[in-house]
Every structure is written in C-alpha cells, then in structure tokens.
Structure 1
Amino acid sequence: MKKAIVALSISMALAMTGCGDKSNSQLNEVDTVKTPAASQEQTVEQEYLLLVDKFFKDQLELEPIYATFVGVNDFNDQFGDGLSDEYLTKRHNLNKRYLAEVKKLDRSQLPADLRLSYDMFTYDRNVALADETFPNHFMPMNQFYSTVISMVQLGSGESAQPFKTVEDYRNWEKRLLGFIEWMKQAQVRMNEGIESKVVLPRVLVDRIIPQLSAQLVTNPEKSLFYTPITLMPASFSAEEKATLTEEYTKLIADKLLPGLTELRDYFQNTYLKSARASDGWWGLPNGKVWYQHLANTHTTTTMPVDEIHKIGLDEVARILSEMDKVRQQVGFKGDLTDFFASLSSEPQYFFDDRQGLVDGYMVLKDKINAELPKYFNVMPKADYVVKPVESFREQSAAGASYESPAVDGSRPGVFYINTYNLKAQPKWGMTTLSLHEAAPGHHFQIAIKQELTGVPEFQRFGNYTAFEEGWALYAEYLGIEMGLFEDPYQYFGKLSDEMLRAMRLVVDTGLHAKGWTREQAIQYMMDNSPMAESDIIAEVERYMAIPGQALSYKVGQLKILSLRAQAEQALGDKFDLKAFHDQILTSGSLPMEVMELKVNEWIASQK
C-alpha cells in the first residue's frame, strides 16, 4: 500500500546539506546584530520585528537554495558551500548572535501573537545550536535525501528554479558549478566520517550507488540535467539558444558527468567498504544520545524514547483491534492475517494502469473539496494538482509526497503519487492518502502558512515535522467526521495508515535505541500490517537514514487531538471546530509547546 512521505520540501532537503554563501562575511561577526538604528520611540514590537526580519535575510544569504524556494531570487546563481568549516562557523555565529539579541527584548511587552513568535524564534535558535554539537556533516547524503536527485528536480523546470530568461539560465549554470564543488567537499567530509566512525549503514550505501549510476549517461543530451535546454522559451533568439545549448552541453560533458562519476566511484570503491554493519544510530559514537536529540528535534518534545516506544506498542494493539472489527463487519471468514493477505493481493483492490490511479485521485479531490467549507473558515488560495512521481526517481521514492506551491502563486502545489508499483497503491488506501497529502492535510497547512500576512517571514517558511505531519494525520481523522469513511474498506485504509504511524514509533525507536536489526524491523511491520513487502523495506531503510523523523506523525496527531478534546470539554456548546482549526493553522508551523500555549490562551478568551 502507499506510504505517505515527509512533507519537507526539496529546499529543506538541500538546506540539510548546509548551502551557504562564501561572500557573506558579516555572518562571522559574533558581537551584535546590525539592525537599523532604533529611536527612543521604537517599541519592543518594532524592535522584535526588525530583528527577526534581519535574521531571515541573513539566513537566506547563508542558504541560497532555501532562498530560491521561498521566492527570493537574489541568490539563484549560488549553490552554497554548506559543508565547509567557514560555513559551519557562520551558521553557529548567526544563531548564537540572534539568540543573544532577542533575549535582550522584554517578551512581556509584546502582543500575544508576537509572544508566540518570540517563543518559536528562541526555540529554533536553541535547537540549531544543540544540533551542531553532533557531526551531521560527516553524512551529507543518503538514499532518501539525495542532493543529486534534488538538483535534478530543481533543473526540471517544474520546481522553484526559474527558467524564463537568459539570466535564469546563466544562474543555473553557476549553481551547477557550485554543486560540482559540493560533490568534492562531500567526499572530504565523508572521509572524515570514516576516520571518526560516523558513516552510513552498508545497506543504504548499496541504495545510493545505483541512484548515482542512473545519472551517468554517455550523451550529455540524455542527461536529466540537460532538461532546461529542452524548455527554452520561444522568445529566446536563435543565437541565444545556440549559445546556451553549447554551454550546457560542454558543462555537462566536461564537468558535471565527471563529477557525478567520481562521486559514484567514491561510494562504490571507498565508502562502501567502510560503511557500518549496524542498522541503527546506536552503532555510532554517542549514538543513543544523538538519537534522543533527533527524537526531541523532530517531535518538538522532550519525551524519552522509551516512552515513545511504549506509546507505539499501545497504539499498535488498539489499531489491530479496530482492524479486526472491520474484518468482521465485511464478513471475511479468515483471521486478520488472512484479511491482510487478501487486501494486499486480490486484483479487485488495485488499478490495472497508472493513469487510472492518478485519475482516481482527481475524482477524490472534487469529493473532498465539496466538504471542506463545513470545517474551515480559512482555506488556501493556491490549488494543487495530482502528478505521478517522475520516472527517474520512482523506484526509490516513497508512495506519495507533497510539494508546496510557488510563493508568488505561479505554480500550484503538487500531490505526487508513485505509480511504479500499482500493487503498493491499493484502492482502499486512497481516501486517507488524499486527506493526508493534499486537502485538508499538507496542502492546506503549508499553502495557508505561505499565504499568511502580518507575520514574520521566518514563520511563513519555517517548519516543524511534528506539527506538519501531526496535522496531516489529524486530517485523516477529520475524514471520519466528513463522512468519507462510510465504506468499511476505505475506513480500513485509514486504520492501515494510522497503523503505519503507530508502528513507526516502535520500529524507529527499536532500530536506533534498542539495537533492532533491519530484518527485525521489517518482520515487525509485516506481522502487524497489510503493507507490501517492498514498501516495508523502503520504510525501514528510510528510518535508518533519517532517525526520529518518523516519530513526529503520531506524536503530533495525538497532541492536536488532545488539545481539541481539552477545548471541547472546556468550552462545551461554545466550542467552534472551524475556530479551533483557525487557531492551529494561522500562525504557521508551531512547536508542540507553543501550539499548546496558543490553544490554551484561545480557550481562556472564549470563556
């Protein structure tokens, strides 16, 4: 069956590699933040807004690809040097300096909405400073977040990188040169990781090598990086087209393909033999402490991993019981294991062709959209489209994902559905998947966040996985109230997806804190769900690559449901579900504690 992927955009995946700007020398200053001179009449509110606005601009200069994704095109020609010591120093000083400056402001003098913003800003700076105490830069890519694939997507003409003018094309050439340098720097960092025993598991390296090999074509015109040439606007002159074609062909043939070959050979001939045999983070130096930090970061809580593991076990047991009730309701004669096998194999539960699957989601889009006004006051202006995952990444991509719309409204959001293995995309899983990835899940939350006005920019573009994935999982729950799960098979699909998120609590903590092997994790998921084995393997290897991220879904959903129950109990007849959704969606993505504070203040105001 399908498995929903993280809602992190490609910009975040690239930001993880630390795309920086060497020219930004002012970021090395550690004393004070240079903001416009404050007059005696300037309020704390004005000082705060100036401060966080200055931070956001400095951050974009340090992270040029992130800037492209948020619609700032000043740095479209830069890739960044995000693995260098210089970059790491700049990033540290940026966070340290702004944390010190914001703490000088009197939080109590801010209005309520900016007190929440203040809490988010200080939270972010503290987490960033804690994160840099761990050697993330020794593992700059994995099979799930591949900078190579992300660059292919940027160059596709369907992502954030613009290709409208000759200057746009020149910018992309320069950014590709920066990427080529990054590949060399990545090998240096991975060599340091080998010396420090901070390396990827061997099985993940085995996955990376064919991803890189797939890019190594003999004819530059067959390279996916040649795509912009096939998209040149008709307004370009014949001379401009000829010049750009020659330049791109030469760049790909003489520099890019040799760089990619060198990176592939490095993984194949050097890194693979030094990769670790352990599957979890516990096998790294200080690995259990590092994993607890990652669990805290992704869930935006301080929950011990043992507690998270126990919650997962309890949720798995509860959902299994609900699944068995569905089995009885539909009159299936075998046991639950037999029911799983039936739903995972019988032809009536699957589409025969790829387009039929995509068309089915378009029908669902209209059905769900008709219900949304009953539950929401605020809805996104941007629309979304349903597209199949591109062929070049479909074999390694998750079952589904979402990419946010362009900030300027020029491109809709995209709900990607992986049509590679139709047996992993059962019809009974479609309603819950659409609710999660599109509306009112990721598309609603992320598009609304980008469209906010009157809030600091860092709030419009920041993200917390527990909030964003917790909301998407809550959106699946909301489908029950919308009447979208009256078909017991579709309701089983909802339970199956919820089971995935519950199993993640068990498996992720098992792998990284309790010494589970990859095989143990795969077997646990096979025993407790109807998922296709290929999906289970991809899921487990994803958890191996990005520990802690998978914990955020269920933890976030449980917190939102808890706050809703608290509000319903406190307000009784005064409780307004649309107004509650307004509180959750109209301040951007929030850490769990900040979200709880906001809802509690709203409850008090309604009383």
Structure 2
Amino acid sequence: MNKTMLALAVSLLVSTQGCSDSAPTPPSKATESVAAAVVEKTASQQYLDMVDAFFNEQLKLEPIYATFVGVNDYNDQFGGSLTEEYLTQRHQLNSRYFELAKSIDVSQLTPSLKLSYDMFVYDRNMELIGETYPERFLPINQFYNTVFTMVQLGTGESAQPFNTVQDYKNWLSRLRGFIKWISLAQQRMDEGIASKVVLPRVLVEKIIPQLDAQLVDGAKNSLFYSPINLMPDSFTADEKSELAKEYQGLIDNELLPALTQLRQYVSETYLANARASDGWWGLPNGKDWYQHLANSHTTTTLPVDEIHQIGLSEVARILSEMDKVREQVGFKGDLSEFFASLSSEPQYFFTDKQDLIDGYMAIKDKINAVLPQYFDVMPKADYIVKPVEAFREKSAAGASYQSPAVDGSRPGIFYINTYNLKAQPKWGMTTLSLHEAAPGHHFQIAIKQELTDVPQFQRFQGYTAFEEGWALYAEYLGIEMGVFSDPYQYFGKLSDEMLRAMRLVVDTGLHAKGWSREQAIQYMKDNSPMAESDIVAEVERYMAIPGQALSYKVGQLTILRLRADAEKALGDKFDLKGFHDQLLTTGSLPMAVMENKIADWIKSESAKK
C-alpha cells in the first residue's frame, strides 16, 4: 500500500495542503508551558513534554486522525480540514514546534530520543515546505479520498466506535461536519480550476462511478445506515427507534443531497475543466512540486532523474532473473510468451472467491511457522484475511493492509481484492502475503503501535519509504525463510519486485519526463505479466498520488544496503534477529535517520567482546 491503505488514507486526510498567508496566531497554553519548562527540566524531559504537547494539539486539530490512533475524545468532530482557519492553525502548529525544538540541547538527549528528535524536526520542516504547494486544490482523487474514509468509518467495521448511544450520536455529528466538507471541497476545486491545478480528465472520469455507488434510493440502502443494523442488544427499543429516525433523516435530507450535488459538480463542472496532461509536469511549477513529493515520500534527496535510472537498471536485472525461472520450469517459449502463459492459463487462477481467501489463510500458517527463527520481537496483535468491500473493489488495489486497533480490540486486516480473480494469480500469493501481512506491514505497523518507550507521535507517524521499503525487504527475506521453494512462487516474488522497479521508471516518466498514461501502461505491459486491469489501476494511482510509489524500491534498496554494511562490519558478530529488532523497535523513521541508527548499532556491536 502501499504506503498500507489505512496509513496512506489517514496521511492523505491530514496531509500538508498548503495555506495562504495570514497573521500568526498566538502560541497555545500547551506550547507556553513547554517553553517555560525548557529551563527547568533535563533535555530528555523537555523533549518528551514538547512532543506530547504537539501530539495532543495535533489530535485536537485532526479529530479523524485521533479516532484512527485510538483517541476517542473527538469522535463527534469532523475537523476544519480545508477551511482557511484550519490551514492557518496547522501552519502555526508546525512552525511553533519547529522553533521550539531548537531550544532543546540535543547533545543531552538519550540515543533513542536523538533519533526521535531528528524524526520530529524532519517532519515539521517537510510539512512547512509542503505548504508552498497548492495541494488543497486537489481534495479528492479516485484512489484515496475523504469520501472513501467516511464510508469505511460509517460501516461500523473500522475505527469509529459504535458501542453506546453516545457513539451513535457522535457519528451523526461527524457526518454533519462531512456534509460541510463536501461543499467546501467544491469551492477548493473551483479555486483549482481558476489556478489550473486540476486532476487529469481520465482520473475525474473514474471518480464519477465511485460517487454514483453512494447515491442509493433511500437511507436504508446506504452504507452510512449500516450502524443502525448493528445496534447492540443493550439499547432500549426507544433508543433504537430514535437513532434509526435520526440516521434516516440526516442521510435522506442532507447527506444524499450533498453527495448528489458533489457528483453533479464533478461530472458537469470539474470534468469539463480537467487537464489533458497526465503528469505533474502539466501543473504550474509542477516539476519542482514533483521533486518535493519524491523527496518527501522517499525521505531522501535523490534527484528524480537518478531515481529513473535506478529503475531502468533494476528492471533489466529482474528481467534476467525471470528468464532463469522460465528456463528452470522448462517453458519452451520466450519470456513474453511465459508472461502470457502465466497471465492466462486457467491452472494459475482460482474460480471461487472464497478459495482465494482460504489460500491466503494457508500461506499465513506456513509463514507463521518459521517467523520465530528470524525475529525476537513480534506483534502481539494477530491479523485476519478478508475481501475488499464491494463499494470500492472496482478501483482498489489488489491487496492492502489495515492496522489493528490500538487497544487490541480489533486485529489487523489483510485485504484481498476479489473483484477480478484473473488479477490474483496463485503464483503471486506468497510474496503478497509476505509484503502486506507478516512479516511485512503487519509486523512493522503493529509493533510500532505497541511500543511503550517512545513518544506517542512516534507510534503513529509513518514514512512510506521505511514502511514500504520494509515490506519489500520482507519479500526478499522470504527467500531465506524457505517459502519460495516452488519456482512459480519465486517468480511471483520477482514479479512483485518488478512492479516496484517499474514504478521508479513510470512514476518519474509520467511526472518529470512527459510520459502519457498510455505510454506508461505499455511500458508495464512490456516488462511484466501483470493483468492489464492491474496495470491501468497502478498507472492511474501514480497519476493521482505522485512520488508515493517511488518509496518502495528506494526504501528496500536502502535497507538491503544497511544490512550489507552491518554484515561486512560485524562479520561473525552480525545477528539477523538483532538487525531486525533495530529496524522495528523505534517505529517508522526517515531513511537518513535510520542510517544513523544502524551506524550507531554497528559501533556498539563491534565494541562487544
């Protein structure tokens, strides 16, 4: 995901969207108290107080984010999101704490808090830089948007709790805030039209049927009515009746009309003003904006031209490995014919959706049996496998991961898209499980949430380069774990790695080199056995969230380099479990910060007798 679906959905929901100039707001009482404590406490305590104060202010400003991280104090609030007041408050939050961090004597921090400090300052700086670009003019796209997030929350199967009568009333209040957001999103898109900051036409066309899916005949047919069908038995008959009436009234009289208006605006106004260019280069200052997004997602300073060249080199290497598999299994045709065979012959696909889900459960058991040989630290939370919901399966990725509830009440979820079984080959299942579930996203994200000795913000902050780099490293680790004994499953690993390598070429091609959507699709068809429907979804994803797809391969290559450095430096002292502990037990870090951590670990291990 994937940044993972939940992590990226939430990050997009609370992402830096740029704000207009306005008068500074005064520091909050929390900020003033932290500043006053600077002269009275140790540097470590100063830092912990500062980041806790920041985190609490951030949760108040971002109430839906608070819900996702398990803080339920703001479950009745939607948040200002696109309002000028919100944009100004977020700017002031980041700038105040960026300045406040400078008052802390970093040399006096503990080693772990130095890492945390570097992460905190990096975040504030990148957020402030991001404000110089007008992302607020692009409030929705076909891949991730607030409408999707609210639908998921409203099903009663996500982070929003529906256990008490007050929980149900909280959701009604949050829905009213969402209805206001729908109107404001249209205003921001109008501003985007005036500024020529709009989505490509093909992406706008994909949004329309997604909105159509929500325009049902009456509240009782809406997914937003789902909580009413899940009311606990402890509710009285009067409570159930009153809530049902309130939900039906709000959905029929306010929500469905608002969504209908949004659909009409997108199809009649926005579509007519969508742009013909497919990449970010077609936007005002688009190439500079894209370089920033590439830096932000990869947490590196790599120029996009260099990333493009790395991708070309990796594609060539992986194609050579794929050809070796073709020879090993005795396939007589060339590699393109091998691709065609793997993508079309019936024996490589399930015909029943439940059989696909059951197959992933069997792989889960196989992988779980060998994990203790490679990890000392493993998540307490389990994960389950389930199909992607029907309302988003047509445009969702082939698979994704949603983190477990912070309080342990809900396991992680490994989502499989069963919409098109021809896009889910059997030979791709092992590597997909390693990546999305264990020891990929599930390990990294669940362990991060379960940490007790790091600041709160560190438990929930994420960097795509590390999280997706780790998940792709987990695929590589599968070779050592012995789960790729079947050459076809190993080909699946190469196929997925090829996807991440092609992303370096295609993402930079689209956004920096003027490639068209069709050119990008053809490149991926020429170099992989992926189903065309998957390729189209992938390319349109890169068009919608530029730079994010670069982080997978860049992150993996960085982790592999760090491991090679450690193995070379430590020799017989190198402990693979210990290396994995170093990567997983401080949360998600920018790659430069992780490099410093591993360098310090190597020094520490080298000094041991």
Q: Check whether TM > 0.5.
A: yes
TM-score band, normalised by the shorter chain? over 0.9
Q: In structure 1, how many angstroms separate the alpha carbons of the residues matched to 2:334 and 2:195?
A: 50
Q: Distance in 1 between matches of 2:52 and 2:27?
A: 18
* Residue 138 in structure 1 maps to residue 137 in structure 2: yes
1:358-373 alignment runs, 5 A limit: 358-373=357-372
In the alignment, what sits opposite 2:247?
248
Are 1:577 and 2:579 counterparts?
A: no
Distance 1:355 1:111 in 2: 50
Read off the aligned partner of 1:454 and give its amino acid letter: D
State the match for 1:63 in structure 2: 62
RMSD, matched Cα: 1.7
Which residue does 1:180 correspond to in 2?
A: 179
1:540 corresponds in structure 2 to: 539
Q: TM-score w.r.t. structure 1 length?
A: 0.97
Kept in 2: contact 1:402–1:438 (CA 8 A): yes
Partner of 2:391: helix, strand, or coil?
coil
User: Is this contact kept in 2: 1:19–1:65, CA < 8 A?
Assistant: no
> What's 1:556 paired with?
555
Q: Residue 33 of structure 1: SS of its match in structure 2?
A: helix
> Which residue number in structure 2 is paired with residue 75 of structure 1?
74
Q: Residues 4 and 399 of structure 1 are in contact (CA less than 8 Å); yes or no, is this contact kept in structure 2?
A: no
User: Matched residue of 2:284: which SS?
Assistant: coil
Deviation string, structure 1 residues 22-52 (Cα, Å, up to 9, x no partner):
xxx9965389922255386511111110000
What SS is found at the alignment partner of 2:234? coil
Following superposition, the deviation at residue 200 of structure 1 comes to 0.3
* CA offsets 1:313-364 (integer angstroms, 9 cap, x no match): 0000000000000000000000000000000000000011000000000000
Measured in 1, the distance between the counterparts of 2:566 and 2:201 equals: 48
Once the two structures are TM-superposed, the CA of residue 85 in structure 1 deviates from its matched residue by 1.1
Displacement of 1:147: 1.2
User: Structure 2 regions of 5+ residues with no counterpart?
Assistant: none
Aligned to 1:90: 89
**In the superposition, relative to structure 1, how do residues 400 and 95 fare at CA in structure 2: closer, same or farther (>3 Å)?**
same
In the alignment, structure 1 segments of 5+ residues that lack a partner are none
Counterpart contact for 2:16–2:131, Cα < 8 Å:
no
Aligned length: 601
Q: Aligned partners of 2:16 and 2:31: how far apart in 1?
A: 25
Aligned to 2:521: 522
TM-score, normalised relative to structure 2: 0.97
- In the TM superposition, residue 196 of structure 1 has moved relative to its aligned partner by 0.2
Code of the aligned partner of 1:237:
T
Which residue identity is paired with 1:540?
Answer: V
**2:451 aligned with 1:455, yes or no?**
no
- Within 5 Å, which residues of 2 pair with 1:36-51? 37-38=36-37, 42-51=41-50
1:210 aligned residue: 209
Q: Note closer, same or farther for the CA distance 1:18–1:158 as it changes in structure 2 (3 Å cut).
A: farther
The 2-side partners of 1:224 and 1:295 are apart by 36
| Deviation per residue, 1:271-316 (Å, 9 max, x gap) | 0000000000000000000000000000000000000000000000
- Alpha-carbon separation, structure 1, partners of 2:128 and 2:528: 39
TM-fit CA distance, 1:11: 2.6
SS in 2 for 1:160: coil
C-alpha distance in 2, partners of 1:18/1:451?
30
Aligned counterparts of 2:58 and 2:593: Cα–Cα separation in 1: 23
Aligned mates of 1:440, 1:27 — CA distance in 2: 45
| 2:14 matched residue in structure 1 | 15
Secondary structure, in 3 states, of the residue corresponding to 2:400?
Answer: strand
- Deviation, structure 1 residue 592: 0.5
Match of 1:283 in 2: 282
Separation (CA, whole Å) in 1 of partners of 2:39 and 2:382: 46
State the partner residue of 1:377: 376
1:233 is aligned to: 232
Aligned 1:126-525 pairs, distance under 5 A: 126-525=125-524
Amino acid at match of 1:250: G
CA distance in 1 between counterparts of 2:339 and 2:447 reads 37
Q: Contact 1:32–1:97 (CA<8 Å) still a contact in 2?
A: no
Contact 1:19 1:80 in 2 (8 A): no
Matched residues, percent identical? 73
Q: Secondary structure at the match of 1:402?
A: strand
CA distance 1:281–1:31, shift in 2 (3 Å): farther
226-235 or 10-19, larger mean C-alpha shift? 10-19
Corresponding residue for 2:565?
Answer: 566
Aligned amino acid, residue 16 of structure 1: S
Task: Return the offset for 1:193.
Answer: 0.3
Supply the distance in 2 between the matched residues of 1:544 and 1:237 (Cα, whole angstroms): 50
Whole-Å separation in 2 of the counterparts to 1:44 and 1:354? 56
Compared CA separation, residues 233 and 92, structure 1 to 2 (3 A): same
Q: Is the 8 A contact 1:17 1:141 kept in 2?
A: no
Deviation of residue 537 (structure 1)?
0.3
Q: Are the aligned partners of 1:27 and 1:94 in contact in 2 as well (CA < 8 Å)?
A: no
Distance in 1 (alpha carbons) for counterparts of 2:390 and 2:549: 25
Aligned-pair CA distance for 1:19: 13
Change (3 A) 1:308 1:387: same
What SS is found at the alignment partner of 1:76?
A: coil
The question of whether the paired residues in 1 share the 8 Å contact of 2:3 and 2:464 is answered with: no
Q: Partners of 1:247 and 1:103 in 2: how far apart?
A: 50
Aligned-partner Cα distance in 1 for 2:337–2:588: 41
Cα displacement (A) at 1:84? 1.0
Q: Is the 8 A contact 1:467 1:591 kept in 2?
A: yes
Give 1:148 shift. Answer: 1.1
CA contact (8 A) 1:5 1:398 kept: no
- The structure 2 residue matched to 1:35, chosen from 29, 33, 36, is 33
Distance 2:38 2:513 in 1: 57
Q: 2:421 corresponds to which letter in structure 1? A: L
State the SS of the aligned residue for 2:386.
strand
CA–CA distance in 2 between the matches of 1:82 and 1:17? 10
- What is the alpha-carbon distance in structure 2 between the residues aligned to residue 320 and residue 8 of structure 1? 32
Matched-pair contact (CA < 8 Å) for 2:156–2:230? yes
